[in-house]
Structure 1
Amino acid sequence: MSDGGRPPAHHWFDDDAGPVVRPYAMTRGRTGADGGHRLDLIALVIPEPAADDPGRDQTLSPEHVDIVERCSTAPQSIAELAADFDLPVGVVRVLVGDLVDDELVRVTQPVPPAELPDASILREVINGLRAL
C-alpha cells in the first residue's frame, strides 16, 4: 500500500479483463439497429460513393469511420468486420445499421438457397438450346 494506506491506482484496473463497457458504450446501449435492417453474418458491406472521407463527419464514432474505411478497399462481410475489429457480432450489426441509416454504406444480402435456380432446370434449358 502507498499514499497513506490507499491501494495503488492500478489496483482497480485489470489489463487482462479487456474492454468490459466498451461495446455497450459504442452502441449507446442498443442491441439492434434502429432501422430494423436484416444483417446476416455473410451480408456484404459496401461503402456508398458519398462516403469518400468519413473521417470529416464529426458525428461518426471512430468505429464507424474504421468500418467505412475497411470496406472501401474491398467489401467485407459482417463476420469479417467483427473478427477484424475483435468486436461482438451484435455490436458490428448495430454500427453497420447506423451507417446504412446515414447512407454511408449499403448491405447486399445473400441469395437464399430457395431462390437459386434448380440445377436440373438449368440442364433442361441448356439441352433445349442445344436442340435448336
Structure 2
Amino acid sequence: MSVLDTDEHWFDDAAGRLIRPYTVSNGRTEPTTRMELLSMVIATGRPPQGQLGPEHAQALGLCGSVITVAEIAARLRLPAVVTKILLSDLVDLGAVDTRSPAPMADSTNLTVLEAILDALERRI
C-alpha cells in the first residue's frame, strides 16, 4: 500500500479534503523551522522522538529520497504553509533534515518556476 492510498479515507473526489487543512496543523500558522518551497527535505532514518499524526506519517513517507517542500505539498494536497508546519514538526522530532535551495535555484528564474509548475502538474 502506498502512502497516498491511506489518504482515501480523508479525501473525496467530489467533495475534496474532508478535514480542513488547518485542523492538520492544530490551528498553527507558523512553522518552527524556516523553509522555502524549494527547500530540500530528506528523512534522517532515525525514528521520530514523539507521536506522529497520520499526515506527519504521510509526509515522512515521501521523504525517503530528497524532495522539495513544494512537491510534498502537492502530493499531500495541502497548502504549502500547512506542509511546512508538518515538516517543521518532523524536523523538531529528528525525523527529517532540510536544506535551503541551491543558490542557483533562484525562485525568480522563469526556467526554475516552469520546472516547478511542470512537476506539480504531473502530480495532479
Q: TM-score, normalised by structure 1?
A: 0.62
> 1:17: Cα distance to partner?
4.3
What is the aligned-residue identity percentage?
A: 38
2:45 counterpart (41, 45, 49): 49
Other-structure match for 1:25: 23
C-alpha displacement at 1:38, in angstroms? 1.5
How far does residue 68 in structure 1 lie from its aligned partner after superposition? 1.0
Scaled by the length of structure 2, what TM-score is found?
Answer: 0.65
CA distance in 2, matches of 1:62, 1:20: 14
SS at match of 2:98: strand
Q: What's the RMSD between the two structures over aligned residues?
A: 2.2
Alpha-carbon separation, structure 2, partners of 1:61 and 1:86: 16
Give the 3-state SS of the residue equivalent to 1:107 in structure 2: strand
2:68 maps to 77
Given residue 44 of structure 1, which amino acid in structure 2 is its aligned partner? Answer: M
Q: What are the residue-to-residue correspondences of 1:47-126 with 2, within 5 Å?
A: 47-51=43-47, 59-72=51-64, 74-112=65-103
Which digits, 9 at most, give the CA deviation of each residue in 1:16-68, with x for residues without a partner?
443375211100000111x3x210111111101213xx6xx872111111111
Asked which structure has the greater CA Rg, the reply is 1
**1:71 partner letter:** C
CA distance in 2, matches of 1:48, 1:27: 22
Deviation at 1:111, TM superposition (A): 3.3
Mapped partners of 1:19, 1:108: distance in 2: 29
